Amino acid sequence: MNLKFEIIGDDFSQAGQASSQVKKVLKQLNIAPHLVRKIAVAMYEAEVNIVAHAYRGTMHVEIDSSKVYLRFEDEGPGISDIDLAMQQGYSTASEAVRQMGFGAGMGLPNIKKNSDELKIASEVGKGTTVEITTYLK
Amino acid sequence: MRLSEVVEIIGGTVVCGENPEEQQVDKAFATDLMSDVLTLEAGRILLITGLNHLQTLRTAEMAEISHIVIVRNKKPSKEFLALAKREKMTIILSEKSLYSVSGALYKNGLEPVY
């Protein structure tokens, strides 16, 4: 099964809608609850990252019997130092994002914790691609 | 702890959700940082927070948390309550502070997540 969602940058009223829809699909597919929760947390962190940092982006979802693969592609400022961004506590989030309860430099480390494979590729001034794979078996 | 006990202990008001006497929470977590909520392990957790925007609900949804106390007399919007209803969440409002609500529940035996 393949799904695709558009994510709008800076629009916190819609942030999480795509993740919510995918989570419901995962539940309907009878994927184990602990895996649904793990995927949902990683997916939502990545979606919020696009809303918080990028101008716009997409989330592609591929589900088969062995894995759930998520690919987030955004147009945005990009990440100049991915190793630094992966460090807990490092954040470039705005004050508005922090007031929403995010931007504490916990998102990327938490995505790593809640995924089996995480790949991040970024080009400064263009955008970032985040790939998250979770194995179901 | 039954949710009806939570409501009684903190003197709260249920503005979304039904039959609090039939619902149970095992532990509580108090924060205004949604990123912290996303790091918790699963369980029947009561979230106590002063944040009343939609991301509080989305975060709770992802973390499988269905019971939220909103403190400091913050009023949720119509959109917030509509989404909470759709996601079958219980929302309790309190005029007290995060510290006061947390202290009262802790004193009455509701365990912390950690």
Q: How far apart are the first and last CA of chain B?
A: 17
Tell me: pLDDT of A137 over 90: no
Whether A48 and B33 lie within 8 Å, measured CB to CB: no
Strand (E) or helix (H) holding A120:
strand A117-123
Q: What's the pTM value of the predicted model, to 2 decimals?
A: 0.94
In Å, how far is A39's CA from the nearest CA of chain B? 9
Tell me: pLDDT of A111 over 90: yes
Strand (E) or helix (H) holding B14:
strand B13-16
DSSP assignment of B53-91 equals SHHHHHHHHHTT--EEEE-TTPPPPHHHHHHHHHTT-EE
Q: What does the pLDDT read at residue A4? A: 98
Chain A environment of B62 (Cβ under 8 Å) = 16, 19, 23, 37, 40-41, 43-44
Chain A environment of B83 (Cβ under 8 Å) = none
* Residue of A38, A48, A108, A115 for testing the chain B interface, max B β-carbons within 10 Å: A48
Long-range contacts, A60-63 (Cβ 8 Å, 24+): A60/A2, A60/A3, A60/A4, A61/A1, A61/A2, A61/A3, A61/A4, A61/A5, A61/A22, A61/A25, A62/A1, A62/A2, A63/A1, A63/A2, A63/A3, A63/A25, A63/A26, A63/A29
Give me the total of CB pairs closer than 8 Å, taking one residue from chain A and one from chain B: 72
CA distances from A102 to A112, B38, B62, B71 (A): 17, 10, 15, 19
- Taking residue A81's Cβ as centre, other Cβ atoms within 10 Å add up to 11
Residue of B nearest to A109 (CA): B39
Give the mean pLDDT of chain A.
96
Give the mean pLDDT of chain B.
96
Number of domains present in the structure of chain B: 1
Residue-wise pLDDT for A23-68, tens only, equals 999 999 999 999 999 999 999 999 999 999 999 999 999 999 999 9
Write down the ipTM of this complex.
0.93
Domain that holds residue B8: 3-112
Instruction: Tell me the backbone φ, ψ of residue B64, rounded to 5 degrees.
Output: 60, 35
Mean pLDDT of B30-54: 95
Residue-wise pLDDT for B58-97, tens only, equals 999 999 999 999 999 999 999 999 999 999 999 999 999 9
The CATH code of the domain that includes B66 is 3.40.1390.20
Specify the residue for token string 């998102």.
Answer: A107
Chain B environment of A40 (Cβ under 8 Å) = 61-62
Residue of B nearest to A89 (CA): B35
What SS3 class is residue A66?
A: coil
Closest CA to A74 of A85, A63, A62, A58: A58
Name the DSSP letter for residue A130: E
Residue-wise pLDDT for A59-77, tens only, equals 999 999 999 999 999 999 9
